[in-house]
Amino acid sequence: MSRPTVRLERPYSHAITETQLLPFTVRLASSREDIEKVCLQRAQAYGRHQPDLVTRLTLSRPEPEDLRDDVVILMAESKESGDVVGTLRLQTNLNRPLRFETELPLPERFRGKHLLEAGRMTVRNGPEGRMVLPALVKAAFEISYRTGIDFSLLIGRAPIDRIYHAMQFQDVFDGEKVVTSAQPGVPVTLFYMDITQADARWIAAACPLYGFMAQTLHPDIDIDFDRAQRKFNVPLSVADAPEFSESLS
């Protein structure tokens, strides 16, 4: 697949009007130690509602996708404790098809497009956690826009699917549930976001999160977009390396 074109402009039509500090930071994981911390938080989060998946998929340890050099993992860390309070894994179809492309009959609109899967999103319970999810979505959206992605895709089980509907993600299969290898045996909704149309969609829907997304500067969401772009474009031979690279390239 051809490499996407980087977009340097802001993905929002409204200007920044305020700055907000968060009780946590968001950054890209950069080492094997980071990945292992992410996996422990992931196992705790899934263990609250889907403990069988933690055992079946061994979610307390890195999955093969976590160790690929062409994958980006976001981690939110509490300023107070240093604990990981939220995680999200981003992978594209630039080197190989996404699981959704091989496991599901995606509509024609996705064919030949640059796609990103936002998977294994987890957030710690509690007041702090309520702000983590939109912060992770904001970071993932801005990464997708900057790196030239056309559509981002993610799955949500009930009742989490209501949150994604409220955030203006669209249902790929118009209400039909699907089952994927990400959560074997669990009916989920497959959502998508048209990256270049997201701003207009949020405005048209008067999305209550638009101010957070577009009009607020969050210094604590500290994303190295150049590094994300480089990682997504790692050649296949390197991306298939069996061990996680400590390199920031």
Q: What is the Cα–Cα distance from 182 to 61, expressed in whole angstroms? A: 15
The stretch 128-143 carries a mean pLDDT of 92
Which H, E and C letters describe 62-117, residue by residue?
Answer: CCHHHHCCCCEEEEEEECCCCCEEEEEEEEECCCCCCHHHHHCCCCHHHCCCCEEE
Q: What is the CATH number of domain 18-224?
A: 3.40.630.30
pLDDT band at 236 (very low <50, low <70, confident <90, very high): low
Residue 189 has a pLDDT of: 96
- Could you tell me what percent of the chain has a pLDDT over 90? 78
| Residues 169-196 pLDDT 10s | 999 999 999 999 998 889 999 999 999 9
243 or 103: which leads in pLDDT: 103
Long-range contacts from 44-49, C-beta under 8 angstroms, 24+ separation: 44/122, 44/124, 45/122, 45/123, 45/124, 46/122, 48/125
| Residues 209-229 pLDDT 10s | 999 999 999 999 999 999 999
Q: What is the Cα–Cα distance from 141 to 54, expressed in whole angstroms? A: 27
SS3 24: strand
The stretch 135-162 carries a mean pLDDT of 95
| Residues 2-52 pLDDT 10s | 899 999 999 999 999 999 999 999 999 999 999 999 999 998 887 877 777
In this structure, are residues 228 and 72 in contact, taking their beta carbons and an 8 Å threshold? yes
pLDDT band at 246 (very low <50, low <70, confident <90, very high): very low
**224-241 as b/e, with b when 16 or more CB fall inside 10 Å?**
ebeebbbbbbbeeeebee
- Could you tell me what percent of the chain has a pLDDT over 70? 94
Residue 240 has a pLDDT of: 56
**To the nearest whole number, what is the mean pLDDT of the chain?**
91
Residue 45 has a pLDDT of: 83
With 80 as the cut, is the pLDDT of residue 148 above it?
A: yes
pLDDT band at 242 (very low <50, low <70, confident <90, very high): very low
User: Which pTM does this prediction carry?
Assistant: 0.92
The stretch 70-77 carries a mean pLDDT of 97
Residue 55 has a pLDDT of: 77
With 60 as the cut, is the pLDDT of residue 163 above it?
A: yes
Per-residue tokens: 35: 């990945």
Per-residue tokens: 235: 């050649």
Residue 243 has a pLDDT of: 44
With 50 as the cut, is the pLDDT of residue 245 above it?
A: no
